[in-house]
Structure 1
Amino acid sequence: MIATAAALCCLALVPACAPSSPHAGPAADGRPAAFQHPGVVVGAGQLRTARKMVAAGREPWASAFRRMSTSKYAAAGYTPHPSATVACRSNHGTPACVFERDDAIAAYTQALMWSMTGKQAYAREAVRIMDAWSAVMKRHTLNDSDLQAAWTGSTWARAAELVHATYPRWREPAVMRFKWMLRKAYLPDVAAKVPDYNGNWELAMTDAEMSMSVFLEDHTMFDHAVSRFRARVPAYFYLSSDGKLPKPPPGGTIKSPDQLATYWFGQHTYVDGLGQETCRNFMHIGYSLAATAHIAETAWHQGVDLYAQEAKRLGAAMEFHARYQLGAPAPKWLCGGKITRTMGPDLEVAYNHLHNRLHMALPETERLIKKQRPGGTDGLFVAWETLTNADNPGSGKA
């Protein structure tokens, strides 16, 4: 769906621009009555706010924009490296795995540059990258195929959503070919069942499914992503209200106390905010927090409030991990007193909702975010979220 003329002029920086239409409320069955565009992780109101802050030189947006605009992903003449097959084995993927992730982030970066500057050259670059991949891409293979498709599928969808909603020169049949690529080369992987895998997999896969559902305007896909979110998030982040033990992964075989302890990397003591991969490393916890927020934020822009169900759980997880990421010593009961502090720039989206919309006090998270700003990209599926989401509730409400 192409945006209205009013929305187009807003996003193209035309000064005498009318405000965008009001955000649609949730339908009775918890699905959007009509999909809102742009509406994958970032909405039109947030883009307008970010653009104004950058133009005014306000922080942290100005620094975030400088970091993005000087990155390799924003370069003029960026060279994509599309492949028909992307084969990714754990820790030993082909070069195509890195190229695919980089190219998807580059397409999204160029799309954001277009939105921030109004320079059509950036929109053309984003289109050129997406068209290069959709012309040849067929499949993902090997044992990391689901995760690779999730990371890149979510990013491709963000890029395509922003360009399609604001740049009418990206036309058929190129748009349809890109949609076909998402359905054939990404959806089968991200819709796969992986109940006994580490939870960051299914959360990333659900992020991609949710993101693609909005761009493709697919209600069935959207509903499936909502169901997965509601089942997996409570099984990944623990709250004492769950009982003495964490919820088992939905649809899986891990159920007994000993099985759960092994699945939670040897952890036997469960406290509010602990994550299934806390004792693995904080990098994967960060991935899971980011993916969880992406899913909920995209649904929010579509008028469906997934945050409401899990705000307490998400806030507890953020505060718990931010405290230790900032350097608090780990007690013996937590991962044997040894934790790996490797969390990336993963908290902006969730913090923006919980703190700036719901007014939750999250002091540890705030300290960590301010220390990490301006957030860049993790090279996988998180990109430029200080620019788009910092202190930026947006105009829409679920």
Structure 2
Amino acid sequence: MPAHKRPTTSEPKRENKHRLTRRGLLGIGGGLAATAAVGGGALLVMSGGDNADAAPTAFAHPGLLHAHGELNRAKVRVAAKAQPWLSGWDRLTANAHSRSTWKANPQATIVRGGTGQNYGILYHDIHAAYQNALRWKIAGTRANGDAARDILNAWSATLTTLTGNADRFLAAGIYGYQFANAAELMRGYDGFDLARFKKMMLRVFSPMNRQFLATHNDAVITNYWANWDLCNVASIMAIGILCDDRTEFDRAITYMKHGAGNGSLKNATPFVYESEGLAQWQESGRDQGHTMMGMGQMGAICEMAWNQGVDLYGYDDNRFMKAAQYVAKYNLGQSVPFTTYAWRSGTGTGKYNEQTVISDMGRGQVRPVWDILHYHYARRRRLSVPYITAMAERVRAEGGGGDYGPNSGGFDQLGFGTLLYAK
């Protein structure tokens, strides 16, 4: 391997100590070390180390994928018919899931994997609740707010069980974090039974999320791809914030920094090419569809943590940014380095496997995962991320569930990043 492409696989050498955080900017995060003038404004810098990454005691609400500032910006810009917000809004209002006439179809038992699969019912209703909630938040239309409330109430009154084969853990993760995000938008809405919804999340989703991260379904620790870990971490984090549960939120942060599975920040990006500003993604040798899904899952985790004052985006010298640059560059049709990736699958000591080349399966496909990354790194942080930016421009304006195919992969991301993150 040429010297300039030799990856680094050691433990993180240093924390990204000089980083802008939402809580730091608001001056309520604690541990403020210094203030420096940047572009005529004040940049509040947190002191480094894990202690500085601990979120304040009280959670910010709304504080999952969307904080008050982003929602208000979208509201103001859409009302002014400003671009690119308006193009994002048009994608939302054109989506059938955002119609206020959507009626929930709640089930007591949801099955993903094996006989009797019915999980499509759940994800369609989740995306309908989320999209109607967005229309309520941005345009103030009561019909949409009522629709979102009614969907969430119907499911919290009915759902008791998630089951199936191993894929049940994907359902618990993906739909757990998405459901929590829809509910967070409806917090305080007239008639929304938040207390009952929290009970459903804590009884049905959280135990499965914790079980998977603790046991990995009794498989060898490297058996499951990064996305399995990531969706379950996202669910734990989202439910922790929704339910004001500090223990669960901290559990998610700790796993991202120190977890043994493939979804932790270090293991999801096993090889870093420092001279090129790139990092190989764990699923890159598998296919590009799941690799893109990883950008969406990791991006969601980072954004939710950011909204609570914790910077995972910048952790370990912007390690995730380098991975996103890597994935974007390859899917733009350019070449990237690849180091043989080896792992064990199965149970016990597992079976040895290796991938020697990057996969071109699904290369160049479109998923609504890029604007959240572009607007964070290029606009909030003012960093140069040309490949992320180019991918975002290719996908913009981003839609959501229902816009990217009828199968479950088209509903793995909540989407609408152009509407919600443009700055």
Specify the TM-score bucket, using the shorter chain as the normaliser: 0.7 to 0.9
Q: Which residue in 2 is equivalent to 1:379?
A: 411
Once the two structures are superposed, residues 351-372 of structure 1 have per-residue CA deviations (whole angstroms, 9 ceiling, x without a partner) of 2221112111011111111110
Q: CA deviation at 1:109?
A: 0.5
Cα–Cα, structure 1 residues 93 and 44, in superposed 2: closer, same or farther, change >3 Å? farther
Q: Which residue in 2 is equivalent to 1:121?
A: 143
Give yes or no for the alignment of 1:73 onto 2:97. Answer: yes
Q: Which residue in 2 is equivalent to 1:204?
A: 231
Once the two structures are superposed, residues 247-297 of structure 1 have per-residue CA deviations (whole angstroms, 9 ceiling, x without a partner) of xxxxxxxxxxxxxxxxxxxxxxx9942111101112211222222121121
Q: Which residue in 2 is equivalent to 1:140?
A: 162
Aligned partner of 1:102: which letter? H
Cα–Cα, structure 1 residues 241 and 323, in superposed 2: closer, same or farther, change >3 Å? closer
Once the two structures are superposed, residues 38-90 of structure 1 have per-residue CA deviations (whole angstroms, 9 ceiling, x without a partner) of 0101100011111122112222211111111111111122022211111111x
- TM-score, structure 1 normalization: 0.79
Q: Which residue in 2 is equivalent to 1:261?
A: none
Q: Is the 8 A contact 1:375 1:385 kept in 2?
A: yes
Q: CA deviation at 1:304?
A: 2.0
2:286 aligned counterpart, secondary structure: coil
Aligned partner of 1:301: which letter? N
Cα–Cα, structure 1 residues 371 and 311, in superposed 2: closer, same or farther, change >3 Å? farther
- TM-score, structure 2 normalization: 0.75
Q: Which residue in 2 is equivalent to 1:153?
A: 176
Aligned partner of 1:181: which letter? M
Matches within 5 A, 1:237-252: 237-240=269-272
Q: Is the 8 A contact 2:133 2:186 kept in 1?
A: yes
Once the two structures are superposed, residues 88-144 of structure 1 have per-residue CA deviations (whole angstroms, 9 ceiling, x without a partner) of 11xx67452111111111111111000111111111110100011111101111221
Give yes or no for the alignment of 1:319 onto 2:341. Answer: no
Q: Is the 8 A contact 2:324 2:388 kept in 1?
A: yes
1:140 aligned counterpart, secondary structure: strand
Aligned partner of 1:155: which letter? Q
| Structure with the higher strand share, 1 or 2 | 2
Q: Which residue in 1 is equivalent to 2:71?
A: 47
> Residues of 2 paired with 1:229 and 1:188: CA distance?
18
Q: Which residue in 1 is equivalent to 2:201?
A: 182
Q: Is the 8 A contact 2:329 2:336 kept in 1?
A: no
Backbone CA RMSD of aligned residues: 2.4
> Residues of 1 paired with 2:30 and 2:242: CA distance?
18
Calculate percent identity across the aligned residue pairs: 27
> Residues of 2 paired with 1:367 and 1:203: CA distance?
25
Cα–Cα, structure 1 residues 26 and 104, in superposed 2: closer, same or farther, change >3 Å? farther
Q: Which residue in 2 is equivalent to 1:57?
A: 81
Q: CA deviation at 1:23?
A: 6.3
> Residues of 1 paired with 2:99 and 2:293: CA distance?
26
The partner residue of 1:130 within 140, 152, 155 is 152
- Structure 2 unmatched ranges of 5 or more: 1-24, 32-50, 259-263, 341-355, 401-409
Give yes or no for the alignment of 1:298 onto 2:321. Answer: no
> Residues of 2 paired with 1:132 and 1:101: CA distance?
14
Cα–Cα, structure 1 residues 70 and 233, in superposed 2: closer, same or farther, change >3 Å? same
> Residues of 1 paired with 2:185 and 2:71: CA distance?
10
The count of residues paired between Structure 1 and Structure 2 equals 338
Q: Is the 8 A contact 1:147 1:205 kept in 2?
A: yes
1:40 aligned counterpart, secondary structure: coil
> Residues of 2 paired with 1:119 and 1:285: CA distance?
37
> Residues of 1 paired with 2:396 and 2:72: CA distance?
20
Q: Which residue in 2 is equivalent to 1:108?
A: 130
> Residues of 2 paired with 1:329 and 1:94: CA distance?
43
Higher mean displacement: 152-161 or 193-202: 193-202
Q: Which residue in 1 is equivalent to 2:375?
A: 352
Q: Which residue in 2 is equivalent to 1:258?
A: none
1:42 aligned counterpart, secondary structure: coil
> Residues of 2 paired with 1:332 and 1:302: CA distance?
35
> Residues of 1 paired with 2:106 and 2:202: CA distance?
17
Which has the bigger relative contact order, CA under 8 A and spacing at least 6?
1
Q: Is the 8 A contact 1:76 1:125 kept in 2?
A: yes
Q: Is the 8 A contact 2:92 2:416 kept in 1?
A: yes
Once the two structures are superposed, residues 329-357 of structure 1 have per-residue CA deviations (whole angstroms, 9 ceiling, x without a partner) of 57897854641213512122222221112
Aligned partner of 1:105: which letter? H
Q: Is the 8 A contact 1:238 1:313 kept in 2?
A: no
Q: Is the 8 A contact 1:154 1:212 kept in 2?
A: yes
1:289 aligned counterpart, secondary structure: helix
Q: CA deviation at 1:151?
A: 1.0
Cα–Cα, structure 1 residues 310 and 291, in superposed 2: closer, same or farther, change >3 Å? farther
> Residues of 2 paired with 1:379 and 1:209: CA distance?
19
Cα–Cα, structure 1 residues 183 and 25, in superposed 2: closer, same or farther, change >3 Å? same
> Residues of 2 paired with 1:80 and 1:188: CA distance?
25
> Residues of 2 paired with 1:367 and 1:95: CA distance?
38
Q: Is the 8 A contact 1:209 1:221 kept in 2?
A: yes
